[in-house]
Amino acid sequence: MKVVIQRVSQASVTIEDKKVASIKSGLLILLGIVEDDTDDDIKWLSNKIVNLRVFGDKNGIMNTSIKDIDGNVIVVSQFTLHASTKKGNRPSYIKAAKPDIAIPIYECFINQLETDLGKKVQVGRFGADMKVELLNDGPVTIIIDAKDKI
């Protein structure tokens, strides 16, 4: 499981000209899933995200978390995070989990994130052609791979 986390001033997801998710200050999380992702990966990654200190404190130092600021989150599935570009110019997505495996993991991740955050998380739609708009704040962009936790 791999995420790209962007601290945003605002973000939204549009599908077929309909806005399905929108937040002000918070995090936009792009989530890529592989077949061997586990419940432990989900719990570890969710805990890491909600406690990641990427928001400014009263002195403007990145010392507070999304939970501390009661910020909002959008999660967007993105299998392309597991692209392999080693051979040729056309990326291979062979490492990305197929929908029958990825969807339950995606849903469990969202549920865990909501539990850890203590509030509803907004989402895109798994597998949909989505238009994601964001205003990256900072810019702050963090990449975390659950397989690198040890």
Would you please indicate which residues are annotated as catalytic (active-site) residues? Answer: 80
- Cα–Cα distance measured from residue 141 to residue 4, given in angstroms and rounded to the nearest whole number: 7
3-state SS assignment for residue 93: coil
Strand partners, 141: 6
Residue 83 backbone zone (phi > 0: left; psi -120 to 50: alpha; other: beta): beta
Decide if 14 contacts 131 (C-beta within 8 A). Answer: yes
